[in-house]
Structure 1
Amino acid sequence: MVESGQRDVIDIAYDNPDRLHIGVEVLTFDALKRRLKSSVARRPSRLDFHQIMLVRGGEGAAMVDFVTHPCVRGTLLHLRPGQVQRLPSGANGRPADLDAVLLLFTADFPPPLPATREVLGGFGPVARRLPPDDFDAFDRAVTEMDAEYRTLRGEQTPDTTALADTDVELTGALLRQLLGALLIRMARLPDPAGRPVPATPGAEVYLAFRRELEHSFATTRAVEDYAARLGYSPRTLTRACLAATGRSAKQLADARVVLQAQRLLAHTDLPVAAIGRTLGFTEATNFGKFFTRETGRTPGDFRRAQR
């Protein structure tokens, strides 16, 4: 990982410290804490890669995009590129004492599997609490990935020779497939809110809308604009979004703008009016009314609370 400073949030780019030219790393939470300076570990960070963490023991709380997620045995966390997190911490505010395994991987490392597109697309749940049977299955999966990764690093007996190039390539390919299998397991998990997984073609409509929303939320919140760009009717978009999330297309568009506004208010010194213009509001008063309606706080109140 490579850190670059901003005002409060630290941007972290993927960089495998084991000098392996491979887009995945397997490590423990303790190893991550040792790697990061304490001042960095307490600050919010934004990753440009995926991070999956399976908690085997201990207690803590992680914050991802202003939502707190308890971390206990059985917690499965998945952070997507661009999300802002604070590492799981304990009651004293310091990094938590967790027994956990992390998988860090670039967006292009997993095998291209249709079943995992929604998991990797940035719109799935951040946190899940796994029941015992599912936890055991995921624990076995990450344990196998950890063993293969240690082989790749050469963590064997002192008299063992280094892996040949062919073996490195094969082990990397195996790690890719093992990650793909783990992501399929994630895709099979029930929705934490209890909603049924949307069926094709509705799921495709929803995912197409969310992808376009990521590109265009700063320029329009109008469902009609997204419908025209995607070739669907506004009613079709709304129906697909309701089936997938329980929220309408308009509610999802507004929520995406609110999230970006919260990130900018909390992690930059940009004036409120400038943030509003960045998000497509020509008048600061209109942005203020929108933000207050959606969050129950004025932009200034939200910023002060975060500071």
Structure 2
Amino acid sequence: MPTLLLDQQIPIYSLESQGAAGAFFQLNRADGRQPAFRQNMLQPHRKDYYHLVYVQRGGSRHWVDMTPYELKENALYFSAPGQLQLKEKLQPMWGVSLAFTREFLARQPNAALAQLPLLLNPQNGHELLLAPADVAFVEDLLARLEAEYQRPGEWQQAMLSAHLTVLLTYLSRLYTEQFPGDEPSADQLLLRKYRTRIEEHFRERHEVGAYAALLHISAGHLSEVVKAQSGKPAIAHIQERLVLEARRLLFHTPQSVKEIAYDLGFADASYFSRFFKRETGLTPAEYRASNREMYP
């Protein structure tokens, strides 16, 4: 399993400006050739944008947050900003890659677009399998998006937004079919907001009360709702997010335990080690060693 060198940090890739929409929205068609930038994907990295890849055929295994995925034909793969990813090797692939930023979504007149299930991803999915009818629909929409992407002008932004809204809505319907869940209640929405705030602030805020203040509610009410909706104490969600990030760094980087502890807001590396062992059953060093043996 590829890891970073001692003097490397996990890179965060942004969209490079390419025309009017390029800094916020990009579309690329893969035709079996290897773009130079894909070499960067062979090392652990993050993206600061949403990424959708429709695979017609080809490709190789890649990883998202320590989970491997073998690319399938006529499938769609999606990831959100901040997830830790890498490819094992560069193999020819045919399909379409679509990328857009949070800023692009913020520009949309439909503010609910960012709340679609595919983008919220409450079930932590990454792969959608497409039936023949889905393939036809998705390929048609991607072709329309590609045509607009190659046609800069006054109406480009509006047309890209319109087609993207239809695509994300359609894929969100598939998401709810393949990752079943009920329509969210007010309390479920609060749980989502709580998880979103944790995602934004887990490095510097480790207490439930700090998130209650961000959400303008009492800590008691937040704890009650979160426990009722998730079956877990509110503090457990913070702890799980810290453990996830610690696992990412231990798995993909050579950072020392002390460096990881400080990165995650722990003032004491020994306390972090005790916390990690309590949550996982292994010390950070044991976790790193066991995974390096499993995925050399």
How does the TM-score come out when normalised to structure 1?
0.76
Look up the match of 1:156. Answer: none
> Equivalent residues in 2 for 1:2-17 (5 A)?
7=8, 9-16=10-17
Which amino acid letter does the alignment assign opposite residue 240 of structure 1? Q
2:32–2:93 CA contact under 8 A, matched in 1:
no
Distance 2:98 2:38 in 1: 20
Name the CA shift for 1:45/1:281 in 2 (closer, same or farther; >3 Å).
closer
Evaluate the alpha carbon distance shift between residue 241 and residue 198 of structure 1 in structure 2; reply closer, same or farther with a 3 A threshold.
farther
Q: Partner amino acid for 1:184?
A: T
Name the counterpart of 1:155: none
**Whole-angstrom distance in 1 between the partners of 2:213 and 2:183:** 22
Aligned-residue CA RMSD in angstroms? 3.1
2:102 corresponding residue in structure 1: 107
Contact 1:61 1:71 in 2 (8 A): yes
- Are positions 1:211 and 2:192 aligned together? no
Number of the residue aligned with 2:89: 94
Q: What residue in structure 1 maps to residue 19 of structure 2?
A: 19
Identity of aligned residues (%): 24
Tell me the alpha carbon deviations over residues 143-164 of structure 1, each in whole angstroms, 9 at most, x when there is no partner. Answer: 2212222334xxxxxxxxxxxx
- Whole-Å separation in 1 of the counterparts to 2:158 and 2:188: 30
Contact persistence 2:51–2:98 (CA under 8 A): yes
Which segment is superposed worse, 294-303 or 169-178?
Answer: 294-303
Q: Who is 1:202 aligned against?
A: 187
Checking the alignment, whether the CA contact within 8 Å between 2:66 and 2:251 is kept in structure 1 is: no
Structure 1 residues without counterparts, runs of 5 or longer: 88-92, 153-167
Residue type at the aligned position of 2:35: R
Structure 2 residue 257 is the aligned partner of structure 1 residue 272: yes
The answer on whether the counterparts of 1:115 and 1:187 sit within 8 Å (CA) in structure 2 is: no
Q: What CA deviation, in whole Å up to 9, does each residue of 1:245-282 have, x standing for no partner?
A: xx664443222111221233345544312322433434
Matched with 1:159 is: none
Distance 1:34 1:221, change over 3 A: same
The 1:276/1:8 distance shift into structure 2, 3 A limit, reads closer
8 Å Cα contact 1:60-1:72 kept in structure 2: no
Gaps of 5+ in 2: none
Counterparts of 1:280 and 1:216, CA distance in 2: 10
Contact map agreement 1:8 1:44 (CA 8 A) in 2: no
Distance 1:269 1:194, change over 3 A: closer
Q: Displacement, 1:35? A: 2.9
- Please list the CA deviations of residues 216-266 of structure 1 after superposition, one character each: whole Å capped at 9, or x if unmatched: 322444445534543151121233345xxxx66444322211122123334
Does 1:236 find its partner at 2:225?
yes
Q: Kindly indicate whether residue 45 of structure 2 is the aligned counterpart of residue 45 of structure 1.
A: yes
Report the counterpart of residue 157 of structure 1 in structure 2.
none
Matches for 1:35-74 after TM superposition, within 5 Å: 35-36=36-37, 38=39, 40-74=40-74
Q: CA deviation at 1:8?
A: 5.5
Q: 1:138 to 1:21 in 2, by over 3 A?
A: closer
SS of 2:58's equivalent in the other structure is strand
**Using the alignment, how far apart are the partners of 1:251 and 1:71 within structure 2?**
33
Please state if 1:263 is matched with 2:261.
no
Question: What amino acid sits opposite 1:10 in the alignment?
Answer: P
Report how far residue 117 of structure 1 moved: 1.7
Given the alignment of the two structures, is residue 292 of structure 1 paired with residue 277 of structure 2, yes or no?
Answer: yes
Structure-2 separation of matches of 1:276 and 1:228: 25
Contact 1:113 1:180 in 2 (8 A): no
Q: State the distance in 2 between where 1:151 and 1:81 align.
A: 27
2:102 is the counterpart of 1:117? no
